[in-house]
Amino acid sequence: MSRTRNSLINLTVAMVGEVVAVPIGFVARMVFIRTLGAEYLGVNGLFTSILTMLSLVELGIGPAIVFSLYKPLAENDTKKVQAIMQLYKKAYTIIGTVIAALGIVMAPFLSYLIKDVPDIKNIEFIFLLFVINSAISYFYAYKQNLIIADQRRYVVTLYRYAFFSIVNILQIAFLYLTKNYVIFLVLRIVCTLLENLLLARSADKLYPFLRQKATERLDGNTIQEIKKNTGAMVSQKIGEIVTNSTDNIVIAAMVGTIWVGLYSNYILITSALNGIMGQFFTAITASVGNLGATESKEKLLAVFQKIQFATFWIFGFSSICLFYLVNPFIAIWVGNEYWLSMDTVLLLVILFYIQGMRRAVLTFREALGLYWYDRYKPLFQGVINLAISVVLAPKLGVSGVIIGTVISVLTTCFWIEPYFLYKKGFVAPLKSYYFKYAVYTAITVVTGLVTGAGVGFITGDTLAAFIGKFLVCLFVPNLIFLAMFYHAQEFRYFLLLAKNIVLKKVIKKIG
């Protein structure tokens, strides 16, 4: 099966999965809020963030080992893959055990992380259920990553979305019947365990050699490569987690647990958008990795510029929709008492856009294994984010925390990541990247203002008003982008690609 076909299958399955899973997830959140309330929602968001912090134990070992699998898989070197997977298994067994131990130790000290401790029974036991769910996911994850590295992500995706749907449907039913948060969490643990066991079994069928003991030891060069990439990913992992997972902890400690719940609704929406759009980037990562091993740097740069254009279109359009539609959607979904102010929404959209525009760079950096060069960047990013958030949160609340994240990204990731990608990955000047970034951003802002003028004619928070605003946001930005880029080389490339895909399907049906 070709790289292109595999990427298309991965993307198609992931998109279908997101389309099915996102509505189920939103219904589950609505039921959660109506049956358990804002305090449980805040605790759910806080404990999720704490467990993400504990995943620092993983230290970036996973991505480093996955990168080391690309070449032996491409060369069909079964013995080397077997040896790498043996190492992977040992590492993840230790990681899962350590996370469980750290979670148990942390449980008695939870009150120090919460400004207003909610009146929830057995809160330490609830936290331990989160710990169990997180820990067991590591014991079989290494086999999933072999499937992904071999460009068969669709296998993992099918299981993931199937179990996501199953667990959410079961949780909805049991929340209505029992209103019991413990049962809610136990269902999640059972489904996590089953998903991992079934995926491990699928991996064993696809790669029978996994059931055999490795007969070959890893060579020194491979071990050194894994150590080097793991060392680079340690700081990457720390910075990523501090940037993305301390927000809820800072809000809980300095603003209040209920605000964690309000903020988490918005994060659920942006995460859903990122999940849908991120499938495009996830699906092409392994292909880019193979491209980097076989093609010239000029070809790599040309492909990157096309992906950068697609990134702009996806996240420019989505940012405009998010700004004008998120509060009307919240009002219909869970009620306008769960709104955040428009100032906070604007900051959230700015963060969403600048994080989204990094996706092309991050996809190529990951696929080309360029972790080492910007290994200290995440540490600076994390320190800046945490320091500014702690200073601003007492004065500005949730907005202060978002400002901290925005500033940390602009002062680090915004310039360091593309710099090393162009210098080490493409060996090309960086000016074209920032010029296009500036043009794309200016067009997004102007398009957003024009769209806002159209949305302004529609008033009210009814479902009809939301549909009207949605239609304006759907058509106006895309028509403006189309008018401006119809003759651009990047747009013509994707148009031709789409035509070829449709033509092949037609020919196949006729044949």
pLDDT, mean over the chain: 83
pLDDT digits (tens, 9 = 90+) for 271-329: 888 877 877 776 666 566 666 555 677 778 888 888 899 999 999 999 999 999 999 99
Q: Is residue 236 part of a domain?
A: no
Between the CA atoms of 189, 190, 195 and 200, what dihedral angle is there, to the nearest 10 degrees? 100
> 316 with 400, same domain?
yes
Give residue 79's pLDDT.
84
CA angle, residues 11, 244, 61, in degrees to nearest 5: 70
Listed in sequence order, the residues at least 6 apart from 261 whose beta carbon sits closer than 8 Å to its beta carbon are 33, 38, 39, 40, 41, 42, 44, 45
pLDDT digits (tens, 9 = 90+) for 191-208: 999 998 998 888 888 888
Give residue 1's pLDDT.
46
Give residue 57's pLDDT.
65
Q: CA-CA distance, 215 to 82, in Å (whole number)? A: 8
pLDDT at 218 over 60: yes
- Could you list the residue range(s) of the whole structural domain that residue 195 is in? 1-218
Lowest-pLDDT choice from 25-29, 177-181, 271-275, 416-420: 271-275
Give residue 378's pLDDT.
80
> 183 with 118, same domain?
yes
Rounded average pLDDT over 142-164: 83
Instruction: Give the DSSP H/E element, type plus range, for residue 7.
Output: helix 3-36
Handedness of CA 11, 52, 382, 118 (dihedral sign): positive
pLDDT digits (tens, 9 = 90+) for 226-238: 777 776 667 666 7
Percent of the residues in the chain that have a pLDDT greater than 90, as a whole number: 31
More confident residue, 278 or 35: 35
Rounded average pLDDT over 122-137: 89
Residue the block writes with tokens 């029978």: 208
Q: Is residue 230 part of a domain?
A: no
> 401 with 265, same domain?
yes
Q: Is residue 232 part of a domain?
A: no
412 CB-side CA count, 13 A: 23
Percent of the residues in the chain that have a pLDDT greater than 70, as a whole number: 87
Number of domains in the chain: 2
Q: Is residue 399 part of a domain?
A: yes
Rounded average pLDDT over 119-128: 84
Q: Is residue 240 part of a domain?
A: no
